[in-house]
Structure 1
Amino acid sequence: MVRWKKIAAILAPVLLLSACGSTQSASSANDSSAGPNAVISVNGTEPQVSLVPMNTGEVGGDRILSAILAGLVAYDPSGKPVNEVAESITPNSDATQFTVKIKDGWKFTDGTPVTSESFTKAWSYAANVTNAQLNSSYFSIVKGYDELQKEGTPSDAQLSGLVVKDDHTFQINLNAPDSALPSQLGSVSFLPVPEAFYKDPRAYGEKPIGNGAYKLVSWKHGQGAKVIRNDDYKGNFPAKNGGIDFRFYTTLDSAYADVQAGNLNLLDQIPATSYSSYQKNKNVKVFTAAGSQTQGISIPERLKHFSGEEGILRRQAISLSIDR
């Protein structure tokens, strides 16, 4: 897999609310949702797994988690990373160690404070092979990752490369220099979780506790999820409405039909079947703007010349040939 950073998924909730950022977006022409307390209905998809940031890697779950959890870094509508929970993220001379200072006053919606361990314990949980988290590989850059891949590792074993100095300061020690690390820390994989998560991860995944601009009030599997504004949010991007009603669709065509009928406020993509007609459709308002996007190339190892050492070298060659 040749992968780019997952910025588009992180931006999605913000971009949906501003009706820009994706190539084409459409909203209902007779949309009556307005005002600071309006709840806006948007298209979504059923999360593939429970709502745990260390285990979520698809857009349906990413959008909800990005709305209810705030990380060290966030992305503005243009895709630029800005410090969110982090006060500062300072590298050493060769970018193998970063000292993170987090802002005081941040709390999860259960009233518990956001501390250094809200991040370091979550990242260690993700990296630990015993916990079988889908986003484990994101932490392979941190020292101690290989040790946590051994069979029989205790589920609460921590990454040795994460060193907590105090409640508001910790260090990230890497296996190799990576000057781009701060821009990666806004990914869903790096979001914090409260202590309540470790008491019952399964229960948390059904109703996660966040520290973001919104808080989850319901998730009806196969139907949708609703979040409301979190008035205690301390970050750069406060909600400008009362909430978001994520409605799960299995096809873009059905979502587009609801936009046209006035049953859905906002759709962030135009279905291919409507490319030739959507701009002339008087039942929708269309917004087009540049925005961040994620692209990738997947090359299965079963293909000839793409397994073993040869496959590794070929993937590296492809990656180096792409002008980012």
Structure 2
Amino acid sequence: MRIRRVMALAVATALATTACSTGGGSDSEGATDGTINLAQGTDPAHMITTDATETVSSSVLRMMYDGLFSYSNTGDLVPVLAEAVPTSTDNIHWTIKVKQGTKFQNGEAVDANAFVRAWNYGAYGPHAQGGASFFSRIKGYDDVKATEDPDGDGPNKAPDPKAKELSGLKATDASTISVELTAPFAGFPTMLGYTVFWPMADECMQKIDACKEKPIGNGPFALKEWQHDIALTIERWDAYQGNKPAYKTIKWRIFPDGAPTWTDFEANQLDIDAPPTEQYQDAKAKYGERMLEVKSPSLSYIGLPLYDPTFAKKEIRQALSLAIDRDLLNQALYQGRYTPADSFAPPGIIFGATAGTCAYCKLDVAKAKELLAKAGGWPAGKKLQLWINTAASGANEKWVKAVGDQIKQNLGIEYEYHLEEWNKILQLTQDHKIDGPFRMGWSPDYNYVENYLVPIYGGGAKVTRTGYESEAFTKAVAEADAAPNLQDSVAKYQAAERILGEDMPGIPVFFSKSATVYSDRFDPASVVVNPVMGAIDLRLVKLK
């Protein structure tokens, strides 16, 4: 079963980093030996790029690796180690040219083979990489993934696959990657800025367990020290051939189980943080222009376990969504800062996203009761089980419990909730062992509406965390994939999104607006927020 990129904690979202300042160039002017102190809500789960599909891991690795592309502050694909954005005459065959002359931190060349070996490693089923599904469009994926599941623990526990390498992936020479997809996909280039498409050193391949503890990157920082569940420190790599950061060190302190971090920021022990909701107004007044408020692409939603008979009928799922007053929650919990979601992807931020694709994402108690009755009513005596991951200041617990209260008030359904550590929630949902709605978050892997649809709800019932599978949705996605260009694909993806809006395998609730405060140690002119990633670009920051 594939692990999808999901958003762990509000603090992780605020501290996620972008990589739009990489590429060729000289040292940053005025480089210093200063340290930036940050927080993470949990220990990174994975340090191999093809496995780093959640926010915490990828935010750390993003500072240690350069890929083929990154995303600009306007959401455009920007070449980093690629010569140019690839083009194709049929959207099946793609040629990617790799810049020559850059190296890994162990001295190995970063060439076409470095990318090919990484992608093959990530796709190979027995390696059980969380990002394996992102290679599924490349020809030969079905032969390298594990296809049987005799013990019911997921396809990665199956016998060895037919092949070890993707047949549609080749390094034709040191500077050329040739990719053949199984079907047309106009959006393929947009994916290539994502973590799982970064390169891998051969030494890392040969010593994978050692690399899990100390990655061999090719970016501006190298791992210095990792004290699990305590702290992680990276240090500027002075042999980096791109634009070097204007400071030497980043240290992340690990705050397990969602421990609060704001008091540490106010004590000048952290340089970036997001104020708790209840202190938002005070923080805004106190910090003024040092509080950055930016519409975020991060979605908070509730996943529904369609594999549980209670949630098998779409009318049940529709009724639950119609019983939620998103506007009231937004005002009561977030002072109106968030955007109540009426779609599955954030309009105005992500390319191709549009408002109003979810017909059941508004309060309508009468309709909710009608649909609940049509489904045969809620099972007598059964409580709604809500699953929530712990988070700083109990933020997730507050809004999910508020949703439970509204469902109880509007539909008469009693509920109880379960608090679990984030990585356990990921495992339980992956294994289909959760018996009720579960809190989820999503931040984009790449700037394309498809990324909010297929990774979360595509691939079939065995793959999705919700157990969702729809022939109509699969067909609509296939038609969108086959469109001749990105612009033509958008309308078809929106049609696929409207199918989700009818089936309701998940309940969109909010699109976030980040409120991030930065230290007075930062040069304000150097603080840039990437709206697609919803985060400060740490590669650009300069200390006073």
TM-score range, shorter chain: 0.7 to 0.9
Hey, what does 1:312 align to over in structure 2?
A: 470
Hey, what does 1:145 align to over in structure 2?
A: 141
Question: Does 1 or 2 have the higher relative contact order (CA < 8 Å, sep 6+)?
Answer: 1
Q: 1:12 aligns with which of 13, 16, 22?
A: 16
Q: 2:48 aligns with which of 46, 52, 73?
A: 52
1:123 positional shift: 0.9
Hey, what does 1:101 align to over in structure 2?
A: 97
Alignment of 1:147-166 (within 5 A): 147-150=143-146, 151-153=158-160, 157-166=164-173
Instruction: Using structure 2 for the length normalisation, give the TM-score.
Output: 0.50
Structure 1 residues 128-151: Cα deviation after superposition (integer angstroms, max 9, x where no partner): 111111111111111100011245
Alignment of 1:217-296 (within 5 A): 217-235=224-242, 238-250=244-256, 254-267=260-273, 269-281=274-286, 286-290=290-294, 293-295=297-299
1:230 positional shift: 2.1
Task: Give the structure with the higher percent helix.
Answer: 2
Greater shift, 135-144 or 296-305, is seen at 296-305
Aligned residues: 302
Structure 1 residues 60-108: Cα deviation after superposition (integer angstroms, max 9, x where no partner): 1111110001111112344432111111242221211110111111100
Secondary structure of 1:37's match? coil
1:199 positional shift: 1.6
Opposite residue 193 of structure 1, the aligned amino acid is M
Structure 1 residues 36-81: Cα deviation after superposition (integer angstroms, max 9, x where no partner): 3211111223335331111112121111110001111112344432
Opposite residue 239 of structure 1, the aligned amino acid is P
1:115 positional shift: 1.4
Greater shift, 285-294 or 128-137, is seen at 285-294
Hey, what does 1:208 align to over in structure 2?
A: 215
1:247 positional shift: 1.5
Q: Could you tell me how far apart the structure 2 residues matched to 1:212 and 1:47 are? A: 21
Hey, what does 2:391 align to over in structure 1?
A: none
1:252 positional shift: 6.3
Contact 1:10 1:75 in 2 (8 A): no
Contact 2:144 2:162 in 1 (8 A): no
Opposite residue 270 of structure 1, the aligned amino acid is P
Q: Could you tell me how far apart the structure 2 residues matched to 1:175 and 1:156 are? A: 16
The verdict on how the C-alpha distance between 1:118 and 1:170 changes in structure 2, with shifts beyond 3 A counting, is same
1:248 positional shift: 1.4
The verdict on how the C-alpha distance between 1:77 and 1:225 changes in structure 2, with shifts beyond 3 A counting, is farther
Opposite residue 263 of structure 1, the aligned amino acid is Q
1:300 positional shift: 3.0
Give the fraction of aligned pairs with identical amino acids, expressed as a percent: 26
CA RMSD of aligned residues (A): 3.4
Contact 2:143 2:163 in 1 (8 A): no
- 5+ residue gaps in structure 2? 22-29, 147-157, 315-459, 462-466, 477-494, 502-544
Instruction: Using structure 1 for the length normalisation, give the TM-score.
Output: 0.81
Opposite residue 202 of structure 1, the aligned amino acid is D
The verdict on how the C-alpha distance between 1:71 and 1:196 changes in structure 2, with shifts beyond 3 A counting, is same
Structure 1 residues 132-186: Cα deviation after superposition (integer angstroms, max 9, x where no partner): 1111111111110001124543698111110111111111111122222222111
The verdict on how the C-alpha distance between 1:295 and 1:97 changes in structure 2, with shifts beyond 3 A counting, is farther
1:261 positional shift: 0.8
Hey, what does 1:188 align to over in structure 2?
A: 195
